Chain A
Amino acid sequence: MTPLAAPTTTILVTIDEKTYSADPGETILDVCKREGINIPTLCFLEGVSTVGACRLCLIEIEGTRKLLPACATVVAPFQKVKTNSDRLKKNRRMTLELLFSERNHICSVCVANYNCRLQDLAHEVGMDHVRFPYLFPDCNVDGTNKIYNIDHNRCIMCTKCVRTCDEVEGAHTWDVRGRGFESRIIADFDEAWGTSPTCTLCGKCVSVCPTGALWHKQSVQNNMKKSPEMVSELTAKRGRKG
Chain B
Amino acid sequence: MNLAKLNDIAAATKEKCKNKKRVCVCAGAACISSGAIQTLDSMKKIVKEKGLDKTVDVIPVGCIGACHQGPLVKILPDETIYQKITPAEAALIAEKHLAKNEVVKSLLFATGAGKESPVNSNETDFFKKQRKVVLETCGNINPESIEDYIAVGGYQALYNILSTLSQEEVIAEVKAGGLRGRGGAGFPTGLKWEMVHRYINSTKYVVCNGDEGDPGAFMDRSVLEGDPHRILEGMAIAGYAVGAQKGYIYVRAEYPLAIKRLETAIKQARVQGLLGDKIFETDFNFDIEIRIGAGAFVCGEETALLASIEGKRGTPRPRPPYPAESGLWGKPTLINNVETFANIPKLILIGGKEFASVGTQKSAGTKVFALAGKIMNTGLVEVPMGITLREIIFEIGGGIPGGKKFKAAQTGGPSGGCIPESHLDTPVDYESLGALGTIMGSGGMIIMDETSCMVDVARYFMDFCMNESCGKCVPCRVGTKQMFDLLNKICTGQGSPADLALLEELAPYVRETSLCGLGMTAPNPLMSTLRYFREEYMAHINDHWCPAGVCKMEPAAQLAEAHS
Contact = CB atoms under 8 A, between A and B. Distances in A.
A179 B296 contact: yes
Contacts of B474: 53-55, 95, 98-99, 156
A67 B470 contact: no
Contact of A179 (B199, B469, B478): B469
B471 A183 contact: yes
B502 A1 contact: no
B199 A180 contact: no
A102 interface: yes
Contact of A1 (B199, B313, B470, B475): B199
Contact of B331 (A1, A4, A55, A132): A1
Contact of A181 (B317, B466, B502): B466
A157 interface: yes
B471 A131 contact: no
Contacts of B480: 180-181
Interface stretch (A14-22, A68-76, A193-201, A226-234): A68-76
A2 interface: yes
Contacts of A79: none
Interface in B162-203: 198-202
A181 B506 CA distance: 16
A130 B514 CA distance: 20
A176 B469 CA distance: 14
A180 B318 contact: no
A135 B317 CA distance: 27
B291 interface: no
A183 B474 CA distance: 12
Given A99-B478, A180-B480, A55 B201 contact: no
A63 interface: no
A94 B509 contact: yes
A52 B471 contact: no
A91 interface: yes
Interface string B282-309: 0000000000000010100000000000
Interface string B454-491: 00000000000011111111111111111001000000
A131 B469 CA distance: 22
B513 interface: yes
Contacts of A179: 296, 298, 467-471
Contacts of B332: 1
Interface in B471-527: 471-482, 485, 502, 505-506, 509, 512-515
A181 B471 contact: yes
Given A131-B502, A180-B480, A183-B477, A55 B468 contact: no
A182 interface: yes
B428 to A, nearest CB: 24
Contacts of A4: 198-199
A208 interface: no
A180 B467 contact: yes
Contacts of B296: 179
A176 B313 contact: yes
A180 B481 contact: yes
A91 B512 contact: yes
Nearest to B331: A1
- Contact-residue bracket for chain B: 35 or more
Given A91-B512, A176-B471, A3 B478 contact: no
A178 B515 contact: no
Given A55-B514, A58-B513, A67-B513, A181 B318 contact: no
Contact of A102 (B202, B476, B478, B505): B478
Nearest to B332: A1
B318 A52 contact: yes
A2 B201 contact: yes
Interface in A51-97: 51-55, 58, 67-69, 72-74, 90-91, 94-95
A133 interface: yes
B220 to A, nearest CB: 22
B482 A95 contact: no
A101 interface: yes
B513 to A, nearest CB: 5
Interface string A106-132: 000000000000000000000000011
A197 to B, nearest CB: 21
B487 to A, nearest CB: 13
Nearest to A55: B513
A68 B326 CA distance: 18
B311 interface: no
Given A2-B201, A91-B509, A98 B479 contact: yes
A67 B199 contact: no
B199 A3 contact: yes
Given A2-B202, A91-B513, A181-B478, A55 B473 contact: yes
A140 B15 CA distance: 71
Contact of B325 (A3, A58, A176, A180): A3
B320 interface: yes
A112 to B, nearest CB: 19
A133 B498 CA distance: 13
B477 A157 contact: yes
Contacts of A52: 317-318, 473, 515
A179 B513 CA distance: 19
B471 A95 contact: no
A180 B514 contact: no
Interface string B357-395: 000000000000000000000000000000000000000
Nearest to A137: B481
A51 B481 contact: no
Nearest to B296: A179
Nearest to A156: B474
A72 B317 CA distance: 10
A52 B481 CA distance: 20
Given A58-B513, A98-B479, A180 B470 contact: yes
A216 B509 CA distance: 37
Nearest to A49: B317
B211 to A, nearest CB: 15
A51 B482 CA distance: 23
Contacts of B509: 90-91, 94
Contacts of A73: 318, 320
B50 to A, nearest CB: 56
Given A94-B509, A157-B477, A179-B470, A132 B318 contact: no
A68 B318 CA distance: 8
Interface string B199-235: 1111000000000000000000000000000000000
Contact of B502 (A53, A55, A132, A159): A132
15 contacts: A4-B199, A51-B472, A53-B473, A53-B474, A55-B474, A67-B512, A74-B320, A91-B512, A102-B478, A135-B481, A157-B477, A179-B470, A180-B476, A183-B470, A183-B477
Sort A-B residue pairs by CB-CB distance and give the 6 closest, nearest first. Answer: A183-B471, A180-B469, A52-B318, A98-B478, A72-B318, A181-B481
